[in-house]
A and B are shown apart, each in its own frame.
Chain A
Amino acid sequence: MSGTCIISTIDLNLWYHRKHALQSVSMRIPRNKVTALIGPSGCGKSTLLRCFNRLNDLIDDVKITGTILLDDQEIHAPGTDVVTLRKKVGMVFQKPNPFPKSIRENVAYGPKVHGVADRSELDRIVEESLRHAALWDEVKDRLDDSALGLSGGQQQRLCIARTLAVEPEVILMDEPCSALDPIATAKIENLIDELRKEYTVIIVTHNMQQAARVSDYTGFMYLGRLIECGKTKQIFEHPAEELTENYITGRFG
């Protein structure tokens, strides 16, 4: 199972106080594929995404039941190191959020936290990560400039490079292009296409055309439930569920 599926959830439920935000979600995320989560606002797609690296732990009054397996290991098992989990499952947010430091320090930050001290090793990681994030050529001559001087699209790719620097297995992306212009969006989409060769990507997006373009698999969520999950081509060409059909053809939501 672990060969084809990297994350799976079984009967996952989540409550924010009394709000039942995820209702019995059972889903399998294929390895080295891009999986998109779509659905109207408030359907639980970001909440589900944040379950995969236990970011919901940071919120008070959250109750989770059910199982989330990463490489067949329950991520809520006692003794699970959340720092290691978040190293394995990196995240890129809606708005680019570089640290107010240099470009180099942004990328090297994670490896340093995880104990890499050797300068030349850090340089190698910085270059490799920036190359992987398709940013190297644009910033190689100003690695010590502030990351805040980069454009929005560059900042977002820097955040992706920062995620890649700690060698994750899975990259979670929560609306990674919603704050970007079409050109920067196209660059991120190209990048996602490249990333699938080495990583598993799970992306939450409001933009259905983007989901259709970049993903191999798509899950449609509605009111906390996973309504349908399958190959992207099938979901967008001929969904099995009427709710999915109605959503993607703009009849509600």
Chain B
Amino acid sequence: MAEKFHTELKKLRKDTVAMAQFGRSMLRDATDALVRQDRDLAESVVARKGEIHTREVDLEERCYQLIALYQPMAKDMRVIACTLKVITASMRIGRYGKVIANIVKEIAERPQISPTMSLAHNSHMMSIPHMAELVIDMIDDAIAAYDIESETNIADFNARDDTIDALRHSIFREGITHMMEDPRSITRCTHYIMVARYLERCADHACKIAENVHYMETGERIEIH
């Protein structure tokens, strides 16, 4: 029975990694769609929300079943505890991707206010593309840490999370400046400020995964702010 349990657990982890990558791809495509103003790509992200929900329910069920049937202990118990958190974090990351994709659709529906607006679009995006790259790198490293049980790439998450917080703050201030300069940019800049906020939350979810990987590996709790 123990062998069956460990086979199931291995498969659960593999599928959880796949789900985390699915959530990550939703965020990646949403931010790409934003940068390129690609409405079709945004549509495809929104269409994936059902799939990620299905995966979340399935994986959670499997965790609960393993707990109920085998009452795991020690590392096995910590793996399942961590897996449940990874599932939730991945779901949230995917959902933020969907929310950003909806923003892309909304912006696309708005008429260009002036011939220069297209140009303005890019300048008003501020550091969002750069921030998105950093956040997605953190998500990749967090997923890899869970997958290969190594903390090497998540050891610097505190500093990386600080950078993300600073970027969000800077985008907020810059956005306000643009709005004051040109009130026609208020809607767009408000959306961008929201996107920065969502990206910052995604980085927090990557940190949560990292905290739980540390617990899975060592049994100790840490806090990454």
Q: Which residues of A contact B (CB under 8 A)?
A: 208-209, 212, 236-239, 244-245, 248-251
Contacts and interface: CB of A to CB of B under 8 A. Distances in A.
B219 A237 contact: yes
Given A237-B219, A238-B219, A249 B71 contact: no
Most buried by A among B6, B75, B76, B219: B75
B188 interface: no
A237 B78 contact: yes
A244 B73 CA distance: 11
B1 interface: yes
Contacts of A238: 74, 78, 218-220
B98 to A, nearest CB: 36
13 contacts: A236-B73, A236-B77, A237-B73, A237-B74, A237-B78, A238-B220, A239-B74, A244-B74, A245-B74, A248-B73, A248-B74, A249-B75, A250-B76
A222 B215 CA distance: 27
A239 B78 CA distance: 12
B2 interface: yes
B71 A209 contact: yes
Nearest to B219: A238
B71 to A, nearest CB: 5
CB-based closest 4 A-B pairs? A238-B219, A250-B2, A248-B73, A249-B76
A208 B74 CA distance: 12
B111 to A, nearest CB: 59
Given A237-B219, A238-B218, A249 B72 contact: yes
Interface in B168-225: 218-220
B64 interface: no
A245 B72 CA distance: 11
Contacts of A239: 74
Nearest to B220: A238
For the complex, would chain B's binding face be called helix, strand, loop or mixed by DSSP majority?
helix
Interface in B1-25: 1-2, 5-6
Contacts of A249: 2, 72-76
Given A209-B71, A238-B78, 15 more contacts: A208-B73, A236-B77, A237-B73, A237-B219, A238-B218, A239-B74, A244-B74, A248-B73, A248-B74, A249-B73, A250-B5, A250-B6, A250-B70, A250-B76, A251-B6
A20 to B, nearest CB: 28
Interface string B70-94: 1111111110000000000000000
Nearest to B79: A249
B6 to A, nearest CB: 8
A248 B78 CA distance: 13
A208 B1 CA distance: 15
Nearest to B5: A250
Contacts of A251: 2, 6
Nearest to A212: B73
A239 B76 CA distance: 12
A211 B170 CA distance: 54
A243 to B, nearest CB: 12
A209 B5 CA distance: 16
A239 B74 CA distance: 7
Contacts of A248: 73-74
Contacts of A209: 71
B203 to A, nearest CB: 28
A209 B72 CA distance: 9
A229 to B, nearest CB: 16
Contacts of B70: 250
Nearest to A246: B74
Contacts of A208: 71, 73
Nearest to A234: B219
B211 to A, nearest CB: 16
Contacts of B77: 236-237
